[in-house]
Structure formats: C-alpha cells, structure tokens
Structure 1
Amino acid sequence: MRTFSRFLSLRNASPVVSGLYWSGIWLALGALLLSALLTNSSFSESGMLPWVFGVHGCSALAGGFVSAKRSGRRGWYFGMANGLLYTLLLMTISFLATDASWTTAVPLLLLITCLSGAFGGMLGVNTGSSSR
C-alpha cells in the first residue's frame, strides 16, 4: 500500500519545474479571463497583444515566486530560469501547434517573462521558510 501511495504522489524535487507547473496554471486562468473578455465585451483580437503580454508576465511572476520559494536561495536566478524556460516552452508549443514564426514580439516576450520571473523570484525567496 505504501508504494501505491508513493506512486500517486506528485511531489516534485525541482524548483524550476514546480514553477513551470504554476506558470501553466496561471496561464490557463489568464487565457480563460481573456476569452471571457473577448466574448462579453467589445475587445478585438488585434488589440489584445498588451493583455497577452500581461498574462504571460503574471504567469512568469507566479512561477518565479514558486520556484524561488521552493529553492530557498538565489531567487532572481531561479525566477529568471523559470521565465526563460517558460518562454522557450511556449515558443516550442506555438511553433509545433500553429507553425508560429519568429517575430519582433518574441524578444519582447522573453524580456518580459525573464524580468517578471526574476522579480517573482526575489519576492518568493524572501517568503520561504529557510532557517536564518
């Protein structure tokens, strides 16, 4: 019975992967919010780019927060690593799903996610329960 409960446990040892999980959760919530805004208001898809960057920035901030809190050290490093991997994963999925090309928005997205992930990491490392 003990091996069965250990098998179902989703405990992750890597702080960056945990941050990526939480980034994905916040991305899904942001996508639902933007979908509701598009459906129930007069927003158009052409004017949604700043909102999309905001959702990605918030997702990277939350992921950086979680990864630095789990690591307990070097918050900006783990947060920025989370933002970088988040963007690389996002671009890989975008390319494979919709054959998205490299545009000028990609470096801007990379900058936003890395900086917001690093900021979230700085906040997260200070809330961790490390012994001082």
Structure 2
Amino acid sequence: MKENLLDSSKWSLRSPWVMGQLFVWGIILICSFIAALLMRYTTFDSSQLTTAAYGINALALFVGGFISGRKAGQRGWYYGGLQGIIYAAILLIIGFLAFDSGMVINPVLFMACAFGISAIGGVIGVNSGN
C-alpha cells in the first residue's frame, strides 16, 4: 500500500520530520541562551559571536539530522538532509520577512551546507542502531 506524504499520522511526534525539527530548534534555543549568558557574565566578546553562531547551527543541524535518521531507520541522508533544507528555508524566510535583510553568505551555499551537515547526521543516525 502506497503511503501518502500528507497522511496525518506522519506528522505526529513519532514522525522523523517533527522530531528532527524539534531537536534543531531546541538546541538553537538552548545554545543561544547559553551564548547570551556567556556574553553577559564572562569575557566572551561579541567578535567571537559569529563563530559561535556557525558552531551552534552546525551542532543543531547535525543532531537534528541524527535524530531524524535514527527515527526513520532508513534513508538517513534523505531525512537528515531535508531537515537542513527545511531549517535553512525557515531562516531565509524569517530573515527576509521579519528583518527585510538578506543573508551575509550566499543562500544556496547556506542550504547546501545545511543539507550536507544534517545529511551526515542522518546517515550516522540510521547506522547507530536501535
């Protein structure tokens, strides 16, 4: 029996799509809060913030892809990579609509990197075993 992409059971908390995005945004939220605390209470300088932001994004994409691939149990590059594409598209939309600004780097390059990092996480997630 063929599965429908818009089947409502695919979008529950058991879904690799939803769990991957929850982990991505949860890690972004927690790590951004920690970075803000570090900037406030330590000597963490704002010049280091760009590097920290890229590291936080890479970590979140990798973990989101890992969780998504592990939850799916198959095609980890597909489930993980699409987590990266969805995340990058949401960031592009937020940046364009909310702040009326483009990205500092090329959006296609950003999407390709996001796809690659989360696809690697998805492959490792599928192969990590259950």
TM-score range (shorter-chain normalised) is: 0.7 to 0.9
Name the count of aligned residue pairs.
120
State the Cα RMSD in Å.
2.1
Q: Is there any run of 5+ residues in structure 1 with no aligned partner, and where?
A: 1-9
Q: Is there any run of 5+ residues in structure 2 with no aligned partner, and where?
A: 1-10
Q: Distance in 2 between matches of 1:31 and 1:56?
A: 10
Within 5 A, what are the aligned runs for 1:1-132? 11-104=12-105, 106-129=107-130
Letter of the 1:59 partner, please give it.
A
Structure 1 residue 83 displacement after superposition? 0.8
Given that residues 76 and 118 in structure 1 are in contact (C-alpha distance below 8 angstroms), is that contact kept between their aligned partners in structure 2? yes
Q: Distance in 2 between matches of 1:113 and 1:50?
A: 16
Structure 1 residue 128 displacement after superposition? 4.3
Letter of the 1:117 partner, please give it.
S
Percent sequence identity over aligned pairs: 28
Letter of the 1:62 partner, please give it.
V
Structure 1 residue 19 displacement after superposition? 0.4
Given that residues 75 and 124 in structure 1 are in contact (C-alpha distance below 8 angstroms), is that contact kept between their aligned partners in structure 2? yes
Over 3 Å counting, the alpha-carbon distance change for 1:111 and 1:51 in structure 2 is farther
Letter of the 2:101 partner, please give it.
A
Structure 1 residue 54 displacement after superposition? 0.5
